[in-house]
Amino acid sequence: MKRTALMTLLLALAVIAVGLSACQPTATPDTNRNGAVANTNAANETIDTAAIEAELTRIEKDFPRVLKEQDAQAVDRVEADDIVIIYPDGEVGSKSLDVNDIKTGALSADLWEVTDVKVKVLDKDAAFVTGRSIVTGGKAKTLDGKTIDVSGQYRFIDTFARRNGEWKLVASISTPVKRPPVAAPASPSPKSSPKAAVSPIGKPSNATTKPTP
């Protein structure tokens, strides 16, 4: 009899325990906390700005060499396959056109300078570069076989993205720089005193005519 009562008591305790367990709220992941931790980690992520600036400046400054040596492989390596290019005349370009222009010498110049290079780092995988190109004796062959003079100055902005650990040029646009206005002539210097004037005997012969400006 005692044994039956004891078994009944244990069974009752087990049922109570199961009931209490079912009433406990289910633990849910603290998504807010996890999001805050992720944001903190992202904010604390170290970006080597100096290294990015140095690498992208090197790429931009290397273009005169690429052009001179017709290094099409360098263009193929730096430009993304899906690059968006806007040429100075408003035409839309592509990677294949750029590679072909360098490979065949369709684009050439006596001197191509890249100056005023400034890099703006957005994050560890994105940045854009602004600068100026000064082209002397520039020639470009059009698709219809004509050769046009592309000498002058251009402002450009290049957008880079790091893909698979390599910086790729994903967008580029350049525009001609208008010639600066002609400087105003300097005010005439005051005439010297007659006493200080050189004797007419000392004037050179005017047989030699100055060239027309």
* pLDDT, tens digit (0-9, with 9 covering 90-100), for 15-50: 444 444 544 555 555 556 555 555 555 556 799 999
Q: Which residues contact 132 (CB under 8 A, 6 or more apart)?
A: 114, 115, 116, 153, 154, 155, 156, 177
CA dist 42 → 38, 123, 160 (Å): 6, 10, 21
Averaged pLDDT, 137-158: 93
Whether 106 shows a pLDDT value over 70: the answer reads yes
Domains of the chain (ranges; CATH) run: 46-176 (3.10.450.50)
Q: Which residues contact 117 (CB under 8 A, 6 or more apart)?
A: 57, 60, 61, 129, 130, 131
pLDDT at residue number 178? 87
Residue found under tokens 């030699």: 208
Q: Contact at 8 Å (CB) between 93 and 106?
A: no
pTM: 0.65
Residue 212: its H or E element: none
CA dist 111 → 63, 139, 143, 198 (Å): 11, 11, 23, 46
Whether 205 shows a pLDDT value over 80: the answer reads no
Report the C-alpha gap between 118 and 114 in whole angstroms. 11
